[in-house]
Structure 1
Amino acid sequence: MAGRIPQAFLDDLLDRVDIIEVIDRRVKLKKSGKNYTARCPFHDEKTPSFSVNQEKQFYYCFGCGAGGNAIGFVMDYESLDFPQAVETLAGSAGLEVPREPGRGGRDPGQPEQSNKPLYALMEQVAAYYQQQLRHHPKAGRAVQYLKQRGLTGAIAKQFDLGFAPPGWDNLLKELGGSEEQRNLLVKTGMLVENEKGRIYDRFRDRVVFPIRDQRGRVIAFGGRVLGDNKPKYLNSPETEIFHKGRELYGMYQARQANRKLERILVVEGYMDVIALAQHGISYATATLGTATSKTHLERIYRLCPEVVFCFDGDEAGRKAAFRAMEAALPCMEDGRQARFLFLPEGQDPDDAVRSGGAECFQHLLDEAMPLENFLFESVAQGLDITRLDGRARMSKLALPYIRQLPEGIYRQLMFLELAERTGLELASLMQLEASAPAPAPPPAPDYYAESDRGGAPSYDDTPGYGEEAPGYGEEDRAPAPGQHRALKTLTAGYSNMAQAALALLLHQPDIARLANPDLLADMDGEDVSLLRELLTLLHRRPESNTAMLLGHWYGTPEGDLLSRLAGQ
């Protein structure tokens, strides 16, 4: 039946069903204190790390990061979409799912409902471009380019590659026959409307690469020019369904090709992703002309425990790798790995896998430099660590980065490793750690518009949320005794204060009445924005519980973060 599922019904459904019963019918649970535990159904494990909280009606796996409410569990466990999971749960509770006409705006329980026409239209656009690659009289140059890059017809089909013909109105004529369709094409960024009101195709005379989200829906395109026009590579703009800071090119194909991912390889662009897949390296992804963000990395780590970054071995590649490392540090929970592979200058992954074969390239990945080695070698560069002053300088430089690691065994081992490398006693090193300043924000990333890789990594230069906002904490009075200790206890296990506040609200939603979300309006950062949205929602719907809040953001990167915070 068409129509939206009312949010009031979703809240009522979550109140009626017991997540313990829902999960126990599918995965045998065992009582453990206040919670219930089991071996996680979403990844292989020997020791149970899957926990279900009956009071708050949510589940969380400390091994793979899966988490959510009863609806989310049924979606993931039975591979159902949102309406199907709601129907399944409602049927078990003897309820009939009501529907209501779309009212416009975002339905928290079904966030993509109003965007369904956009997704459907993007699939039509992808099909049109694929047809042009096969049949357009001027597609020869596109076919020749793909052959020169060593791509076969089979791999082009696997990644749904297409061709945007030269000219200003090919797509406009094909799919923009009505005003409604033209407006939707403008909304998706496929058509451009200039200041004079003229509408024309965004992609012209380019090989096009559909960009799919984690559910396989086409949300954007990348295009490589075939002539001398600029830019060489062009991506869709940000739209209602495409947020390039959250998406990874090739992630959907990687999940389709691998039932269980052991690692994700992050390369410099979509041509690298496709070339590697053709040689059997089917777990490569690429960012889309943006910095690698915490959102990207948390999405990767939810799927697998290891990420390998692949860069050129030149100075620019090393700088990009260092920025990637900075982005990874707050995500390095125990059990997670990050490695760095540097290729000879001028060589790309396609060259490496073609010259040495897939087995040799796999070996290179296995031997890639661990994050800890890269960090210590980078901060020691230019220092004479045979001298006392060199080792002292290395300690001062390394400590601020180690401080960004989450609390855990890995963080403690990093302190031990630094102590061994510098010859310092661990106790002395920890005294330095207590007084070490936070590192300065990295410089703004360079965007690789001229790269022949199809977009390139420009790693996140956003300052950490732990940095004080101007005017904050400028009072002259000394802090009360124990104040620093209390603050450290509050934020332990979280990357910043905003995450600590989010976790507190998830566990005690009723305290939202004490906070004004408008006070956060001038503060920047992904987590701060999410905190502001959560407070606004709780002010509007103060009866919300943990399960309802997780359901509001289910299936989004924000939902992944909230599930993890709720589980801590």
Structure 2
Amino acid sequence: MAGQIPQRFLDDLMARVDVVEVVGERVKLKKAGRNYSGLCPFHQEKTPSFTVSADKQFYHCFGCGAHGNALGFLMEYDKLRFPEAVEQLAGRLGLEVLREGADDPRAQARERKRKEGVNLLELAASFFRERLKMPEGEGARQYLERRGLSPDVQQIFGIGYAPDDWEALKRHLTERGISDAVQVEYGLLVHREESGRTYDRFRDRVMFPIRDVKGRTIAFGGRVLGDAKPKYLNSPETPVFHKGRELYGLYEARQADHRLERVVIVEGYTDVVALAQFGIRNAVATLGTSTSEEHLTRLFRMVSEVVFCFDGDRAGRQAATRALETVLPLMIDGRQVRFLFLPEGEDPDTLVRREGAEAFQDRITCANPLSEFLFDQAAAGRDLARIEDRERYASQVLAALARLPEGVLKSLLLSELSRRTGVEASNFSALLARAKATAVEPAPVRDMASKDGAAQAAGMPETAPPLGERSPPTARSGGALSLAARALQLLVHEPSLVAQLPEEDGWCPEDDPDGRLCREVVRLLRAGRYRSAQVLLAHFHGSAEGERLAVLARRELLIPKEARGAELEGLVNHFRRTRQRRSPQEEIDALLARERGGERLSREDKQRLMALLTELHG
């Protein structure tokens, strides 16, 4: 059902579930006094240091520090997102997950529409699989046989065939009462405006169903058998399919290995299936787009290592550069990224057939770590014996390191840059800090002058920072916090403060990453009525946003508890006044910049943008 999961349901669920049962189904436990012990599933060990307490309903590893409740264990062990883990726990008890807004007719309509769309696509997938078995699918069967794809792997990936007919699928679905309009909406039919005619989008193609993480068909990819163009065709964007978010083969990879630790990103779905044919079941593919930050965020929730696989030509190197730029901000400690470049003229499909699975696995294992690719890329075409080239080399590496989160990896890369250039690491650290400080605009300050002007009369400045903020903000990861980060920190430490915020969230500064994250947190707290920081952090677990919130949660809040409400109120008032002082054009530019940067504007943002455009242009 649509809507957020309310705190009262979570409290009831956690009171009824038994962490020993949940963990015991996945880890071999032995009774040890009042507790249970076993080998930790989150790191390699020979002597048990993993303890589960039935009394406290908690698990803890004294070796690696992993700890949490039944919900947290499911998220970590089964690589589930927060809502999925809640659903699984509720299912154990025969409960239906309660969600806020479930009685909203609009929410019900959206959920009903989504289910109808998924059912329609499953019906189409079944149709394609059946046609592959029929006489009309002979050409497709021969193609799959030539590609060396066994019946077993075809069944695993649900491969089918779209007949060479303009209306074969259309007739099949129409007979089952599904209108042309719905088929068009979910990308199965094409509608020609000039003639009003509709016809099958996929014709004479081998069909690869694209599934979500739950195994539901949400789209298709088709490989043409004849001379039609394009050679490969994907479903368009639909209410259930967003190509910048989905990865082909991820569901099948998780089915093959429930404890997936590494994922290889290849170019196309035929590569994914061919590798699976040879027993390499951890490959996924993007769907006609470059690997996005959203793709990687989803993967890092499930695995700790991602291997990018590219052709060894110039285009492959350029794609690798784009992938490096995308992944750098997500490289919190504990994550690994490698870059695998194939010989020119080869793709994973051809190479695994020529070399075999073991040799291909060796290539994956020996792929360049992110650090080596970063240094090699910066050194390309430069003579590092020349001081000028060495300076440009160091500057390029430093520019990349400025995008990395603070952590051990960043420190090690600075040390390695020092070793390779002969410059003291402390000098690089200072340069990096200076570059980051100049890149961050000074944060606005809150007007503290009283209404009667007493502050000015006393010689105080007209504006001053909020309580507890007495120094200018520096980089986002250290030093004093920006004002947006301060508001976010208050909400992380005191989620109940959300009750005093204004209904609209437009006060959050949209030109600040912490401000945008603050919007997400406010909406989540309101929708779920959460009052627990741990539940809030669980929602963002495994993402860059989650790491940011965890940093703020660990950072001591020096403001007295009784003054925190006033502090937040002062911040909100300041942000609202700052926004009011901006011209309509400045606000329009800020909103459009966010959208051009790949961020999806909220409904409120879009309404605000339309109002501003109307105000400006009439």
TM-score, normalised to structure 2's length? 0.69
Once the two structures are superposed, residues 420-470 of structure 1 have per-residue CA deviations (whole angstroms, 9 ceiling, x without a partner) of 11110111111221233699xxxxxxxxxxxxxxxxxxxxxxxxxx987xx
Amino acid at match of 2:382: L
1:14 equivalenced with 2:10 (yes/no)? yes
- What is the aligned-residue identity percentage? 40
User: In structure 2, which of residues 494, 511, 529 is the aligned counterpart of residue 508 of structure 1?
Assistant: 494
Describe how 1:415-494 pairs up with structure 2 within 5 A.
415-436=414-435, 482-485=471-474, 488-489=477-478
* Contact 1:400/1:438 (8 A) holds in 2: no
CA distance in 1, matches of 2:337, 2:486: 25
CA distance in 2, matches of 1:61, 1:490: 35
Describe how 1:325-474 pairs up with structure 2 within 5 A.
325-436=324-435
User: In structure 2, which of residues 80, 91, 100 is the aligned counterpart of residue 84 of structure 1?
Assistant: 91
CA RMSD of aligned residues (A): 4.4
Closer/same/farther in 2, CA of residues 146 and 355 from structure 1, 3 Å limit = same
Closer/same/farther in 2, CA of residues 268 and 72 from structure 1, 3 Å limit = closer
TM superposition shift of 1:240: 2.1
* Contact 1:67/1:564 (8 A) holds in 2: no
Closer/same/farther in 2, CA of residues 20 and 216 from structure 1, 3 Å limit = same
- Gapped regions of structure 1 (runs ≥ 5): 29-35, 91-96, 440-465
* Contact 2:265/2:285 (8 A) holds in 1: yes
Once the two structures are superposed, residues 147-166 of structure 1 have per-residue CA deviations (whole angstroms, 9 ceiling, x without a partner) of 33232332222211111112
Once the two structures are superposed, residues 386-441 of structure 1 have per-residue CA deviations (whole angstroms, 9 ceiling, x without a partner) of 122222211111112112222211111010011111110111111221233699xx
Tell me which residue corresponds to 2:66. Answer: 50
Amino acid at match of 1:397: Q
Tell me which residue corresponds to 2:166. Answer: 168
TM superposition shift of 1:363: 1.0
User: In structure 2, which of residues 129, 154, 157 is the aligned counterpart of residue 156 of structure 1?
Assistant: 154
Describe how 1:110-149 pairs up with structure 2 within 5 A.
115-137=114-136, 139-149=137-147
Tell me which residue corresponds to 2:255. Answer: 256
* Contact 1:311/1:321 (8 A) holds in 2: yes
Tell me which residue corresponds to 1:462. Answer: none
Closer/same/farther in 2, CA of residues 254 and 6 from structure 1, 3 Å limit = closer
Point out the more displaced range, 111-120 or 365-374: 111-120
Amino acid at match of 1:517: D
CA distance in 2, matches of 1:379, 1:154: 45
- Gapped regions of structure 2 (runs ≥ 5): 25-34, 46-62, 446-462, 552-618
* Contact 1:67/1:563 (8 A) holds in 2: no
1:286 equivalenced with 2:285 (yes/no)? yes
CA distance in 2, matches of 1:105, 1:39: 48
CA distance in 1, matches of 2:547, 2:264: 23
TM superposition shift of 1:25: 5.7
Tell me which residue corresponds to 1:93. Answer: none
Closer/same/farther in 2, CA of residues 62 and 27 from structure 1, 3 Å limit = closer
Closer/same/farther in 2, CA of residues 168 and 376 from structure 1, 3 Å limit = same
Task: Give SS of 1:271's match.
Answer: helix
1:518 equivalenced with 2:525 (yes/no)? no
Closer/same/farther in 2, CA of residues 111 and 270 from structure 1, 3 Å limit = same
TM superposition shift of 1:283: 0.8
Closer/same/farther in 2, CA of residues 65 and 7 from structure 1, 3 Å limit = closer
1:535 equivalenced with 2:533 (yes/no)? no
TM superposition shift of 1:41: 7.7
Closer/same/farther in 2, CA of residues 128 and 194 from structure 1, 3 Å limit = same
CA distance in 2, matches of 1:65, 1:83: 15
TM superposition shift of 1:360: 0.9
TM superposition shift of 1:123: 1.4
Once the two structures are superposed, residues 447-505 of structure 1 have per-residue CA deviations (whole angstroms, 9 ceiling, x without a partner) of xxxxxxxxxxxxxxxxxxx987xx9989xx9999731348543799xxx9989976764
Amino acid at match of 2:253: A
CA distance in 2, matches of 1:248, 1:438: 37
Task: Give SS of 1:87's match.
Answer: coil
Amino acid at match of 1:508: E
1:311 equivalenced with 2:307 (yes/no)? no
Point out the more displaced range, 200-209 or 505-514: 505-514
TM superposition shift of 1:347: 0.7
Task: Give SS of 2:506's match.
Answer: helix
Number of equivalences: 503
Task: Give SS of 2:378's match.
Answer: helix
CA distance in 2, matches of 1:18, 1:51: 16
Task: Give SS of 2:478's match.
Answer: helix
Task: Give SS of 2:473's match.
Answer: helix
Closer/same/farther in 2, CA of residues 497 and 388 from structure 1, 3 Å limit = farther
Once the two structures are superposed, residues 166-188 of structure 1 have per-residue CA deviations (whole angstroms, 9 ceiling, x without a partner) of 23221111012366554432332
TM-score, normalised to structure 1's length? 0.75
Task: Give SS of 2:215's match.
Answer: coil
TM superposition shift of 1:223: 1.0
Amino acid at match of 1:87: G
Q: Structure 1 or 2: larger helix share?
A: 2
Task: Give SS of 1:484's match.
Answer: coil
Once the two structures are superposed, residues 30-77 of structure 1 have per-residue CA deviations (whole angstroms, 9 ceiling, x without a partner) of xxxxxx999998744552433338xxx9748998796876x75465xx
CA distance in 2, matches of 1:65, 1:505: 29
TM superposition shift of 1:378: 0.5
CA distance in 2, matches of 1:282, 1:497: 47
Once the two structures are superposed, residues 58-98 of structure 1 have per-residue CA deviations (whole angstroms, 9 ceiling, x without a partner) of 748998796876x75465xxxx3x762563599xxxxxx89
CA distance in 1, matches of 2:489, 2:206: 45
TM superposition shift of 1:340: 0.8
Closer/same/farther in 2, CA of residues 507 and 295 from structure 1, 3 Å limit = farther
CA distance in 2, matches of 1:111, 1:42: 39
CA distance in 2, matches of 1:100, 1:535: 17
Tell me which residue corresponds to 1:191. Answer: 189
* Contact 2:267/2:285 (8 A) holds in 1: yes
Larger Rg: 2
Task: Give SS of 2:398's match.
Answer: helix
CA distance in 2, matches of 1:566, 1:381: 38
* Contact 2:300/2:335 (8 A) holds in 1: yes
Closer/same/farther in 2, CA of residues 269 and 66 from structure 1, 3 Å limit = closer
* Contact 1:102/1:114 (8 A) holds in 2: no
Amino acid at match of 1:187: E
Amino acid at match of 1:13: F
* Contact 1:312/1:348 (8 A) holds in 2: yes
Closer/same/farther in 2, CA of residues 121 and 505 from structure 1, 3 Å limit = farther
Task: Give SS of 1:517's match.
Answer: coil
Tell me which residue corresponds to 2:19. Answer: 23
* Contact 2:7/2:528 (8 A) holds in 1: no
Closer/same/farther in 2, CA of residues 26 and 155 from structure 1, 3 Å limit = closer
CA distance in 2, matches of 1:524, 1:226: 49
Amino acid at match of 1:84: G
Describe how 1:548-559 pairs up with structure 2 within 5 A.
none
Closer/same/farther in 2, CA of residues 489 and 425 from structure 1, 3 Å limit = closer
* Contact 2:165/2:204 (8 A) holds in 1: yes
CA distance in 1, matches of 2:198, 2:480: 51
TM superposition shift of 1:368: 0.8
